[in-house]
């Protein structure tokens, strides 16, 4: 199964491709469909997307946890590659999107095709400005684009999207069940009581966070050692390792447990900071119960999909938030 998480970040492609063989007149590929794969040495390596082209109108479809992802674009030929044989440069502008994050109307990119097998993308604007990607063109059908062709691609990608959503739903059910674990609830209750007895709990959190974030990556403070060596942290590592043995690429890379004050209580590995209450994922999970986010996770050091869930006791009292990081770079 291929999990196409890169659609959370960005997908671009081609509209009109003038393809010039050495010493020959160019011809134009203005109607075609193509399947591309981001190369493994790039961010989001292994992600797959389809491109459907009709003249200057380009449509990209892929699957994501949000459902079927569709990005529509307008393309114009650039003259920046005229001196290069078998190479075409295009200027791309997104005109509309559906079920995407970090891509929006008006985002621009420079797209270079080294025909017939390689594609390079440089993002020029938006949240992903300066990002560069390389893709291998895996399949291309050069023929008139019809509604039937588009429907075939949409149907195939929709099934992939459905499978991804089933995986995400299963993971969410596992996470919600884990929040009911008595060991987790007990350690959170004890931690919350400890912080509640402090005159200025958030001052202590800020102090610990300053020390935590000023520590070198390969260094360990006594507090870090205590948290990482706790029984609950060991339990979470066992959960993560067991999950990684499952026959799926949709597995945990990191788990973080925080108390109701947004401070680390247990963790599977050293995080980038100690204080979490000011993080958007923590705020939204506390408010809404569940929060999904895609992007680069500093703690895990990977492009990821994160899932954060609210933890409450039997009476509904808020105990904390648990965050699960899923490695998007392994999904292929």
What would the pLDDT profile of 220-240 be if each residue is shown by its tens digit? Answer: 999 999 999 999 999 999 999
At 23, the pLDDT band (50, 70, 90 cuts) reads very low
Mean pLDDT for the stretch of residues 193-213: 95
Domains of the chain: 5-163 (no CATH), 179-330 (3.30.450.20)
State percent of the chain over pLDDT 70.
Answer: 70
Place of tokens 């604007």: 125
Q: Is the pLDDT of residue 298 over 90?
A: no
Instruction: For the chain, give the mean pLDDT.
Output: 77
Mean pLDDT for the stretch of residues 12-17: 35
pLDDT digits (tens, 9 = 90+) for 127-174: 777 778 888 887 766 655 444 455 666 666 656 656 666 777 778 788
- Can you read off the two tokens belonging to residue 51? 């491109």
At 245, the pLDDT band (50, 70, 90 cuts) reads confident
Residue 186, number of CB atoms within 10 A of its CB = 13
Burial zone of 113 (CB within 10 Å; 0-12 exposed, 13-18 middle, 19+ buried): buried
Q: What is the pLDDT of residue 251?
A: 82
pTM above 0.75? no
pLDDT digits (tens, 9 = 90+) for 66-94: 567 788 889 877 778 777 777 778 788 99
Residue 237, number of CB atoms within 10 A of its CB = 18
**CB distance 70 to 151 below 8 Å:** no
Q: Which residues contact 203 (CB under 8 A, 6 or more apart)?
A: none
At 38, the pLDDT band (50, 70, 90 cuts) reads confident
């Amino acid at each position: 199964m291929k999990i196409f998480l890169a659609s959370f970040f960005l997908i671009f492609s081609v509209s009109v491709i003038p393809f010039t063989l050495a010493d020959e007149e160019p011809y134009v590929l203005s109607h075609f469909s193509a399947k591309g794969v981001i190369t493994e040495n790039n961010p989001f390596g292994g992600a797959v997307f389809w491109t459907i082209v009709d003249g200057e109108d380009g449509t990209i479809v892929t699957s994501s946890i949000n459902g079927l992802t569709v990005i529509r674009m307008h393309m114009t030929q650039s003259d920046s590659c005229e001196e290069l044989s078998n190479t075409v440069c295009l200027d791309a502008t997104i005109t509309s999107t559906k079920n995407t994050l970090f891509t929006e109307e008006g985002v621009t990119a420079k797209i270079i095709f080294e025909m017939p097998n390689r594609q390079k993308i440089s993002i020029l604007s938006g949240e992903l400005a300066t990002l560069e990607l390389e893709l291998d063109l895996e399949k291309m059908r050069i023929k008139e684009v019809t509604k039937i062709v588009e429907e075939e691609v949409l149907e195939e990608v929709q099934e992939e999207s459905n499978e991804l959503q089933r995986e995400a739903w299963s993971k969410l059910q596992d996470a919600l069940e884990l929040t009911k674990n008595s060991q987790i609830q007990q350690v959170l209750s004890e931690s919350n009581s400890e912080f509640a007895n402090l005159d200025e709990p958030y001052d202590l959190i800020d102090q610990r966070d300053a020390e935590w974030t000023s520590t070198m990556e390969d260094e360990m403070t006594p507090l870090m050692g205590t948290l990482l060596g706790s029984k609950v942290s060991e339990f979470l590592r066992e959960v993560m390792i067991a999950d990684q043995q499952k026959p799926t690429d949709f597995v945990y890379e990191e788990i973080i447990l925080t108390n109701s004050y947004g401070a680390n209580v247990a963790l599977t590995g050293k995080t980038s900071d100690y204080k979490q209450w000011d993080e958007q994922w923590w705020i939204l999970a506390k408010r809404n119960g569940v929060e999904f986010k895609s992007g680069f996770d500093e703690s895990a050091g990977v492009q990821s999909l994160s899932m954060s869930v609210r933890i409450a006791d039997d009476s509904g009292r808020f105990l904390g938030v648990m965050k699960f990081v899923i490695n998007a770079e392994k999904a292929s």
